[in-house]
Amino acid sequence: MSRLLPLLSLCVLTGLTVSGAVHAGDDQVTVYRCEASSGKVTLGDAPCPTGQHQEVREMLRPQDPPPAPTPVVAPTPPPAAPIVRDVVVYRTPPRPMYECTTADDGKTYTSDNGDGNPRLVPVWSLGYVGNGSVVTGNTWIHDTCHQLPQADVCDRLRDRRYEIQRAYHSSLQSERQLLDKEQRGLDARLGNDCEAG
């Protein structure tokens, strides 16, 4: 019986709270414990009937726990703006190309400079003959060169690259290494000097 009393007390308190017997503004609850002559115990919010043993207890009204605090969520920062870096491309000015004509036999070739392949030759090889005697000595000669327009330079570079590709498969291994080297130089020059490569 004594084990049932705490449980019974809790039920009565809950019933009192729910039934509205306790005023909403009150902090105290009055509970009447009544014991009849037969030993039956009751709890209630009203005084015990005459002839029953009465105990009065003042208790704090049960309260709901305070609401759990709402977690503070830091606002999500806006995404950082992407870092834009200026890309600087250094290009060297296009290198000139010259078409030169040999002084002695009139053949043409291309050159990266307009020097005209200066070379020292004997004077007699140029056909100079003086008063029936052979002229001795040497002289410098230069081939005649003129600068090509840039469009022609790019066309000639592309033509040479095509020739290398055609010759590559029928060449020896040692020749292929030289062709590879020349091809890399041509590709670099085409990439810098000619927009379409």
Query: What one-character DSSP code corresponds to residue 173?
Result: H
Burial class (CB in 10 A: 0-12, 13-18, 19+), 49: exposed
Task: Map residue 84 onto helix, strand or coil.
Answer: coil
pLDDT tens digits, residue range 16-29?
444 444 444 567 88
Report H helices in the chain: 4-19, 150-168, 173-193
pLDDT tens digits, residue range 106-134?
899 999 998 999 988 888 777 766 666 66
Average pLDDT over residues 37-44: 86
Average pLDDT, the chain: 81
Looking at residue 125, its pLDDT comes to 76
Average pLDDT over residues 137-164: 92
Spatial distance between the Cα atoms of 57 and 46, rounded to a whole number of angstroms: 12
pTM of the model as a whole: 0.47
Identity of residue 79: P
